[in-house]
Amino acid sequence: MRTLHLLRHAKAAGKAADGTDHARPLAARGIRSAKALAGYLAESNFQLKQVFCSTAQRTRDTWQLVAPALPSVSIGFCDQLYLVDQGNLMEFIRGLPDAADGVMIIGHNPAFHTTARSLARNAASGHAKELAALKVKFPTGALCSLQFNVAYWREVKAGGGILAGFIQPSDLADD
């Protein structure tokens, strides 16, 4: 069993000091929601060994805020995850290290939304409403957890996942 967690970066500010998209930091609302998610992860004893994160400032900031809830996790920053498209994100997922049964990727829409919808065939018991919500929107700061009954990441395919959770910032705190 493999578990993939897609964490869309928290809400970003409209502009970076240098004017580039890559350097956009988190907005105050994003900081609050990422801290709320970290609290949720800590309380739920969330476990994984590997995180891959886009190099954009907003994804790095999101990671910094959730990292305390994920002790002993290995982090890798990947330029290829910055504004990746769905095809390349699927290629990245299929190339994940097989030694890690659970992996989190921190990145961006629209690829996270289209990929999660493509992968999620069904919802685990009690998660039907979350699957319906995921089909509509993948908001900033949301965490989608998908399980795959495969031996190797290279076997992950469209329609092969079961939605095990979809946590949105609105589920955790008032924004």
Question: Order of strands across the sheet with 50-54?
Answer: 74-78, 50-54, 102-107, 2-8, 143-148, 161-167, 120-123
Angle at 116 between CA 111 and CA 121, to 5 degrees: 145
**Mean pLDDT on 65-89:** 95
Residue ranges in the chain assigned as alpha helix (H) = 28-43, 57-66, 86-94, 111-119, 128-136, 169-172
Q: How many angstroms separate the first and last alpha carbons of the chain? A: 35
**Mean pLDDT on 90-119:** 97
Q: In this structure, what token pair is assigned to residue 135?
A: 């089909």
Using alpha carbons, select from 16, 36, 32 the residue that is nearest to residue 24: 16
Domain range for 155 is 2-172
Pairing mode, strands 2-8 and 143-148: antiparallel
Residue 54 has pLDDT above 90, yes or no: yes
* Cα→Cα distances 63→28, 59, 111, 162, 163, Å: 15, 6, 19, 25, 22
Q: What is the CATH number of the domain that holds 60?
A: 3.40.50.1240
In this prediction, residue 175 carries a pLDDT of 45
Between 161 and 14, residue with greater pLDDT: 161
For 122-158, write each residue's pLDDT tens digit: 888 888 999 999 999 999 999 999 999 999 999 999 9
Q: In this structure, what token pair is assigned to residue 76?
A: 């890798």
Mean pLDDT of the chain: 94
Name the percent of the chain lying above pLDDT 70: 98
> Domain total for the chain?
1
> 111 in helix, strand or coil?
helix
